[in-house]
Structure 1
């Protein structure tokens, strides 16, 4: 848990300079509520590192808007306004105020929105969307890359099962044997491995079969 604890400590340090004194206790309690969740901690760290309005502010609630293939679209509500974050187990990306919607066509397409206007129409009332619950508490999600039951893991996830030997893909020797290499270092080598995996048929995450053996979160394993 050392990495999670360090991230939490970093966030609390940032908050001392970013949050109005009268709001600090409540804002800290919210962060501590998510102290074992890498997804939420990525958001808190991104927000308090770079206050969107350049003014003292504090996140009061996180709401889950969308979730697909290990990627979360989360709205962080503050005293100033509502902000959109695209989050994975690795990082959080600031997308801008909710009121402006999503401009990136790739993000809209990923979540199956035809246009920015279609997105804005769906999220006119935030209260109809659930408060975000830490990803690792969802039994239908991979505890590492957060894909849902039946979805394909993010390449490199230690939970993914090798389709050739049935072992742990990141630990078995199948990838080296098939590629005729002793290690994988370049992007092209990973792409070659991905091609072979897709041809063989990657094994999707099974909440029933795979989750119990992997209780750790991504930040714990860094």
Structure 2
């Protein structure tokens, strides 16, 4: 039985050569981080100096027999000093200046696994809209081709009418969605009116002695017509059931 030889993984030299060839092909320049390496060097120097000062103070305090809580105070002041000396890093939060200092760009991986610049939210929305338009155009083109290949003209026309005619935005599915949206808006209005009436009922009951003589439901009736709203809700529910049955 012949054995299947597995391909050996590429070596480090081959990977570096491919990266260099791609960099030359696409005209990509290597980014060195701008001024960020200098900030990192400054941070390393500050950390070493603070650690040395803390160690010296701890050694002196131990030699002189000072209490242990003083060592924790030294550590706290060392941490506070490091935080104060790290304030120059806030310059990277400035929108234009920070990007000019580090000269870096956000990147990501596409579906093919290639490293590409990351799109902003505006570019992503524009790309999604463009892809949707292309998809819609492809669907319309496929529908036109299917209608053109149909030998029976009447059957083709009936299928177009069932899908909404030449103007699908006025088809039965769109009308059903519009009816459901209108019913949702009306239900929201009725619910908000009832909530407002319930809030006013509580306000009247708490701030006036009316609640001692009039029931809560009667006070709520002052601000909302329950019978009318119930009738509207029943009509909307019946319309919704009819719309679902039609779909």
Q: TM-score, normalised by structure 2?
A: 0.18
Instruction: Tell me which of the two structures has the higher relative contact order, counting C-alpha pairs closer than 8 angstroms and 6 or more residues apart.
Output: 1
Q: Which has the higher strand share?
A: 1
Q: Which has the higher helix share?
A: 2
Higher Cα Rg: structure 1 or 2?
Answer: 2
